[in-house]
Amino acid sequence: MFRMFMQFYNFIEVKYLPVVFPSNNQKENALHFAEKTSHALASAFNVVETSHSYGEVMLQMRASQLKQIFIYFSFINAYIFAIIFIFIFAYRYFIIVFCLNQGVMCLNSDMWT
């Protein structure tokens, strides 16, 4: 928006559309009037008419954000798991090497539980 305000000339195209009046049936059911208005806008701008509402689009955007957050946390969990595994392996390796250097037999079942 900043770049738009910093330009010397800004161009805009205004398109006036015909007024859409609801019929008697559409006055009773607002959904029919909304569909008629949506169809008029879609045909005027030559775009595909969809049945998506703002709520559905916002819900889909939020779901994609949560999916990205979930993927990020799954990578973090994988790294944490790898670090914990390395520390456990290094700790057990250190105990075995320490015991062997001291000449002590420490390979009992309590160490591996």
For 16-53, write each residue's pLDDT tens digit: 888 888 888 888 888 888 888 888 888 888 888 877 76
pLDDT, position 109: 44
Q: State pTM to two decimals.
A: 0.40
Q: How far is CA 77 from the centre of its chain?
A: 18
Backbone angles phi, psi at 39, to 5 degrees: -65, -40
∠ at Cα 52 (49, 54), nearest 5°? 125
Are the beta carbons of 53 and 69 closer than 8 angstroms? no
